[in-house]
Each structure stands twice: as structure tokens, then as C-alpha cells.
Amino acid sequence: MLHPLSVCGTIGPMSTSPGAPALGIRATARREVTARIRAEGRRQLASEGAAGLSLRAIARELGMVSSAVYRYVPSRDALLTELILESYSALADVAEAANASVPDQDDLEARWRAVWRAIRGWAFAHPHDYALLYGSPVPGYRAPQDTVAPASRVTGSFAALLVPLATAGGSVPVPVAVPESLSASLESTRAFVGEGVPDDLLLRGLMAWAGMFGAISFELFGQYEGAFADRDTYFDYVIDQWFVLLGGPPA
């Protein structure tokens, strides 16, 4: 439990240098209180789930009157959005760093493995944040447009590998023809990934994207219980199979 609010609405006393501008003090205080609200919100995600997130409960745990929380977060949905934005950004940082960490950027398979393993590692290190992003929708909550850009950063680390795969001329042994109506609906995906990626590779990329999160979610949420013991080797097998299905050379 943190210190109760002082009269001015901040939590506990704050140390400031003599003569510090009042505006700077207030801004610092606001950042600190907002950070504590978010931290308590994340704790509630772990204990109650996203649907159980409550600003009143957060205020109680922080020693604040409930009305004071609304000075920093206007609603439960606004707090959920902030947590989602932070989670997407954190996951994108991990995925992008993994992609960039491969010394030979021409080694598409190594980059592919690095991104998949990094996303899985983050999911298991932050299961409740992962569930907020890729689990069941929160009843009554609709994510605003603000969440699209950070979510696209995660997708971008994955999609960035499709262009070099297409350039390398990778193909599957027996490709399935893309229906014309489906091809026409790929404009937004094609615009995001970039030119030069054929429709069948775009679709296989979308399938691999769903397959990765499906494999992670099944493992994280206990759907593989009793199926096999060596989860790491299984996940690497999934990585390799999807790489080949995208036209990469078999290991």
C-alpha cells in the first residue's frame, strides 16, 4: 500500500531541488502517480484478469480516494489502452532487437528463428500482458486506433522477412492457387509488407503469423498438456516447418 494522497493530489512527499519550477514538480508528480496506477493495473491483470480491472480497486490499493484516480486516468478503458500500448511496444522492442541481433542479415532462417523465439520468450516472461494482447477480448472494450501503430511494429518484424524470401525465389513444392476474390482483398496487407511479394506468399505469411501465435497460446494456456514433454524442441520444429512452407530452404 502506498502513501495516501496529499492535499495537492500526489502520493507522498516529493524531494525537489530548491527553486525548481512548480510546473516541473507537478509534471514529475503526475508521471510518478500515473506510473503507480499502471503498475497496480498490471498487478490486477495478473490477479483478476483484464475484465476485472477496476479503477476503484486501484485507488483503494494506492491509498487514494476513487475520484482522484480519474485525474490521471479518465476511465478503465483508457487505462486498458495505455497498458496495451506499453505491452505492444515492449514486445515490438524485443522482436526488433532479435531480428537485428543476427550478425548475418542475409541469413533469413537465423532471423526467422530469432524473431519467433524472442516473441515466445516475451510471452512466457509476461503471460498476462500477452493475454491482454492476444487472449480473449475484454467484454465492453474496443481498442482505439492508437493501438494500431504499436501492434504493426510487432507484425513488421515478422513481415520484413517476406520480401527477402520473395526475392530469393522461395516456393513450396505444390502451391495452391489463390482465388481471385481473396487476392483482391490483400491490398492492405500488400501495402504493409511492400511490393514484390506474390499473393500466395502473402497468404502463407499470414498463416505463419497465426500459426506462431497459435503455437505460443496453446502452450502458454495449457492446451498441450499431455501431448509432449519437450516444448522447446517442438516450437523449433514449428519454426522450421513454417520457414520451409514460406519457401525457405529446409534445414
Q: What's the pLDDT tens digit per position in 122-175?
A: 999 999 999 999 998 998 899 999 999 999 999 998 888 888 887 776 666 667
- Straight-line distance from the first to the last Cα atom of the chain, in angstroms, rounded to the nearest whole number: 53
* Cα–Cα distance, 130 to 135 (Å, whole number): 7
Shortest CA distance to 211 belongs to which of 120, 133, 93? 120
Cell numbers given for 52: 476485472
Cell of 181: 476474390
- Identify the weakest region by mean pLDDT among 90-99, 129-138, 191-200, 216-225: 191-200
Per-residue pLDDT tens digits for 79-103: 999 999 999 999 999 999 999 999 9
CA–CA distances in Å: residue 54 to residues 24, 27, 37, 103? 30, 25, 11, 45
Backbone φ/ψ region at 63: left (φ over 0), alpha (ψ -120 to 50), beta: left
In order of 34, 40, 196, 197, 213, the CA distances from 72 in angstroms are: 6, 13, 46, 45, 34
Residues 6+ apart with CB under 8 A from 117: 98, 235, 239
Average pLDDT, stretch 206-234? 93
The grid cell for 188 is 492492405
pTM: 0.82
How confident is the model over 56-75, as a mean pLDDT? 91
pLDDT in the model for residue 169: 63
Cβ burial, residue 123 (10 Å; 0-12/13-18/19+): buried
Residues 213 and 234: their CA atoms lie apart, in Å, by: 14
pLDDT band at 36 (very low <50, low <70, confident <90, very high): very high
Count of other CB atoms within 10 angstroms of residue 222: 8
3-state SS of 40-70 is: HHHHHHHHHCHHHCCHHHHHHHHCCCHHHHC
Contacts for 170 with CB less than 8 Å, ≥ 6 apart: 201, 246, 247, 248, 249
Closest CA to 40 of 16, 76, 8, 92: 76
